[in-house]
């Protein structure tokens, strides 16, 4: 993914983690805006069976949310402190976030075996 730097034509690539990509995808697929950090962590990382792992998953999702917010891809309507943890509620995509989610969805549909076949055909013609 690339983001535009205001006031310039240069692009700086922004590498998204698997969690950040999953957050974008989830928010794109569920545009109702009723999800928060805690519920999103449970959905994206349901295999967490101990309190320690649940907290780690929560922190990873929270970090991803904040990273996406910094990049201008998501927004939230409120922050609250619940059970001693800062949580973001009513998450949603910005227009830029929607565009990135669409790009990701299209990118995932690329048929790698077909592309490899095309590459092999080109190599056969050249060699």
Round to whole Å and give the CA distance between 36 and 90. Answer: 6
Q: 117 or 45: whose pLDDT is higher?
A: 45
Q: Which domain holds residue 84?
A: 2-126
Confidence band, pLDDT 50/70/90 cuts, at residue 112: low
Round to whole Å and give the CA distance between 23 and 100. Answer: 12
The stretch 104-116 carries a mean pLDDT of 69
Q: Is 50 exceeded by the pLDDT of residue 7?
A: no
Domain count, the chain: 1
**CATH assignment of the domain containing 102:** 1.10.10.10
The stretch 34-53 carries a mean pLDDT of 90
> Residue 110 has what pLDDT?
58
Q: Which residues contact 17 (CB under 8 A, 6 or more apart)?
A: 64, 67
Confidence band, pLDDT 50/70/90 cuts, at residue 114: low
> Residue 8 has what pLDDT?
42
Round to whole Å and give the CA distance between 107 and 51. Answer: 35
Q: Is 60 exceeded by the pLDDT of residue 122?
A: yes
Q: Is 90 exceeded by the pLDDT of residue 62?
A: yes
Confidence band, pLDDT 50/70/90 cuts, at residue 69: very high
Q: Percent of the chain, pLDDT > 90?
A: 50
């Amino acid at each position: 993914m690339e983001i535009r730097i205001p006031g310039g034509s240069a692009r700086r690539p922004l590498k998204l983690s698997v969690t950040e990509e999953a957050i974008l995808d989830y928010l794109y697929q569920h545009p109702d805006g009723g999800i928060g950090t805690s519920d999103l962590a449970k959905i994206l990382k349901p295999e967490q069976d101990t309190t320690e792992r649940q907290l780690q998953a929560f922190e990873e999702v929270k970090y991803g949310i904040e990273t996406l917010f910094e990049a201008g891809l998501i927004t939230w309507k409120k922050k609250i402190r619940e059970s001693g943890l800062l949580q973001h509620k009513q998450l949603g995509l910005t227009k830029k976030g929607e565009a990135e989610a669409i790009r990701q969805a299209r990118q995932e549909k690329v048929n790698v075996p077909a592309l490899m076949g095309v590459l092999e055909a080109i190599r056969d013609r050249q060699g």
